[in-house]
Structures are given as C-alpha cells and as structure tokens.
Amino acid sequence: MNYLYQAVDEIVGFISSALKMLKIEQVSRMIEALEETYRKNNLRKILVMGAGRSGLVAKAFAMRLLHLGYHVYALGETLVPSIGPNDLVVAISGSGRTKLIVTAAEAAKNVGAKIIAITSFPDSPLARLADIVVEVPGRTKIAAEEDYFARQILGIHEPLAPLGTLFEDTAMVFLDGVIVELMHRLGKTEEDLKKIHANIEL
C-alpha cells in the first residue's frame, strides 16, 4: 500500500503548503461578509453552490453555517428559496469555469446577490464576476499549462492525487477553518452548534 501512504502524504503536504499561501486580505473580506450576513440574519440568506466534489465541499460548509445559525441553502437541493440583494452566494470551483456554476452565479449577480468565489484561478469567469475572490490553490482539472501553480508549490512532476482532489481537500479544510473563526467572532460554542445539529439525519 505504498501508493496510499504516498498519496495521503502528498495531500496533507499540499493542504499545509496551500493554506500558507492564502491571501489574508481575500480571506478577511470573506469572513467579514459572512459575519455581516449573520448580524443581519433575519433579512439575509446564503446560497452555496459547486459542481461534483466541489459541490459536496460546499454542502459540508453549508451544514456548519446552519449549525452557526445561518439561513443557508445549497443549489441542487429541494428546499431553496429566492435570493436577492445583499444575500450571499458562496460558489466553489477549482477551475472557475464549470459551466452550470458560472451560469448560476451570473443569475445570482443579476438579482443583486454578493458573490464569493472560492477558486484557484483569479482570472477565471467565476472569479471575474465575483465580488470577493478567495484563491485556494489546487491542481485543477483544466489544461496542463495552467497546472504549474500547483506544481510550483510542491515541486512535483507527477502528482498522485487525481483531478480536483487537492483543491477539494484544501477547500474543505480551509472552510472548516472559516467556521472556527466565525464561531469565535459570533461567540458560539460547540454546545450552541450541537443544539442546531440534526438529531434525525441521513
């Protein structure tokens, strides 16, 4: 099982390096937008979106936002209300080019929502339409020449983790960090989260 151990080392090493490369002003703007949304909780909603595994990471983040007391929804689920001005959209796409996510984010922008893009590419269509961009490094699925960003970090030639894995796992840990920061800013304890956590779930 050499490959398994090498792969988990690669992934953990990547996440660790990647998180050190986060741009503090970007992260700071994201946290402030989330904090502000909470303060105006009765008026404001959050809609998360992402395709494939990025969509699952978006949902894992949304679940914790729910536990913090947010009015939060995930694109693709049954129970999603209309959104409007000042509502927040968190769109996750490593490449920033996933067609349905760009289309959905554009639609959200058109109704006045504020868009936060979590992506590896600040020049991507998703990033360009976003109000706040948080660059999260990843070896994304798009063309190899755009891939050097990830390789640069680790100095590797043949990464083991396939497709979007490094981006997705890094985004997962980063967003779990965002939750901890919000807990402290909003004065929430683990006990508070537990009270909202589903008691009947699948």
Interface of this chain with a copy of itself, residues 67 to 86, rule: CB under 8 A: 67, 72-84
Q: Is residue 130 within the footprint of a copy of itself (CB under 8 A)?
A: no
Angle between helices 24-39 and 165-186 (to 10 degrees): 50
Q: Which of 26, 37, 98, 124 contacts a copy of itself by CB under 8 A?
A: 98
Q: Is residue 45 within the footprint of a copy of itself (CB under 8 A)?
A: no
- Residue 190 phi, psi dihedral angles, 5° rounding: -60, -35
Contacts of residue 177, defined as CB under 8 A and 6 or more positions apart, other chains included, come to: 19
Closest by CA position to 77, among listed 117, 50, 97: 50
Q: Is residue 53 within the footprint of a copy of itself (CB under 8 A)?
A: yes
Query: x/- string (CB under 8 A) for a copy of itself, residues 159-198?
Result: -xxxx-x--xx--xxx-xxxxxx-xx-----x--xxxxxx
Q: Which of 40, 143, 187, 201 contacts a copy of itself by CB under 8 A?
A: 201
Residues 101-120 that bind a copy of itself (CB under 8 A): 101, 103-104, 107-108, 111
Q: Is residue 16 within the footprint of a copy of itself (CB under 8 A)?
A: yes
User: What letter would DSSP give residue 157?
Assistant: S
Q: Which of 63, 142, 154, 186 contacts a copy of itself by CB under 8 A?
A: 63
Catalytic (active site) residue 77: no
3-state secondary structure of 92: strand
**Closest CB to a copy of itself among 154 and 160?**
160
**Closest CB to a copy of itself among 93 and 127?**
93
User: What letter would DSSP give residue 202?
Assistant: -
Rounded-to-integer distance, Cα 72 and Cα 46, Å: 5
Judged by CB under 8 A, the stretch of 33-41, 57-65, 120-128, 149-157 that binds a copy of itself is: 57-65
Rounded-to-integer distance, Cα 83 and Cα 102, Å: 16
Greatest CA separation found in the chain? 52
Going across the sheet that includes 132-135, the strands are 72-74, 46-50, 88-92, 114-119, 132-135
Catalytic residue among 32, 146, 168, 191: 168
Q: Is residue 1 within the footprint of a copy of itself (CB under 8 A)?
A: yes
The residues carrying an active-site annotation are: 168
